Structure 1
């Protein structure tokens, strides 16, 4: 197969995958899609003009590059390795890229399975959320060979502002774990700061306007403080998904003998939010937990 990539398959059209695949279609690539809920694939095809298919294998047939963006390790295995999975429809010389936030072990397993078939593999979890996917400004952390990355990077750049190779297979997932570890502590710190300001009778908005200009500033502060102050959480990256990600982080940390006390604690706090019925709330809902405890 020539190095030029013209036909891609996109498997998984959730809140992230749907707009990501759309950017590829707009860029002039021939896009073949599969989604577990077929109606969503049909809707995507009607909007962007690509073709929708009944199985991952069918979508992958003839594709130079297959991209996967689903929920967790088991979902990835189902759409790639099982019968009618993408690998059964891919040809030697093609590439598989997994955008799912999953375990490093799975990345290494997929890399080995791909190598057996002469297929390249990149684990490429993303950061930036639904808004980043829609606006085409995701950050993508990749693991794989330099050669496979060089072929893949121009395609990923259609929906990312930063695409970086971090090392061999699994390195992208390990980097995404660092990302989630840092976010967990930041969001809890922001929630505590806003809660403290509220209890102290301060104007929370004015407080943020002042401290965001200094060392306390962060993406979370800039993009989430208004909805946090308004106690609105029906948006953004769901608590259920964050707990999935933090579970991966904590399991990997045990293997590496890395100490993550704050991450483990915040994971428990997200468990409290789930008990409150907030599994689908944005991760910034940690503030609602504090407000609820304060009224208790």
Structure 2
């Protein structure tokens, strides 16, 4: 039977529905306070350990938040980004988009502390979700109750990270497709993009916007020209090592200023600029910029919970890893 455009569209919608439904079903088995009987002090242990690292290196908070995002968008929130590669199987952490991730040592330290108190009980996937929440809180951001009960996956494949993680040069259409395929909404997209209020980036992630946007040695016309000049002073052509602040002046503080920058065409990545190419995401950007982030904290907490529900393993699926880098 030939697949007509109409039939293809119907099949696509069906797959989207099934994907979203599986996220919802798994999420229903998560619960706030899942460990209250079997490991009642887990959240205190996580927060205490994370604080020791963030106090010494505040910039690590952004990496820990990003790690949770990178985990959830590949195979769901199952801790697969933490698994080490095997000789015959490159894992997610060795995929190009994950090479700049930092903070695995923090996760390992938290896991070791939790295992000492409650051996074989708390999953690495849940630890990662709790770490992300605490990293945001310790950077001045919102606090939310993290539903737990995730179990760890046993599979991690490098190429799946390349396929599933939205790149910094993504346009609004591909961003929508990526988020919708995970059961997330357009609001989740624009809200979670606000995580770029903390952290840094290598010049290579956006240098094409400065020097060769269309392949003719030009700059991205959607990038504010004065911001482009400032970035060129920091990032020379083909610079592989230099890093810049994603939210200049407050890259260690979780606040609303990301939206102010994007509204002024000073978002660092194409994916930031793309938020102005959809009327709904643009309206949200302008609202937060105009109201100084009036609803951003509450919205971010809600969207993080939504993201944390993606493709979770619960019940008897998966396992509780003893060490986050290795399957049992």
TM-score scaled to structure 2, two decimals? 0.24
Alignment TM-score, normalising by the size of structure 1: 0.26
Q: Which has the larger strand fraction?
A: 1
RCO higher in structure (CA 8 A, sep ≥6): 2
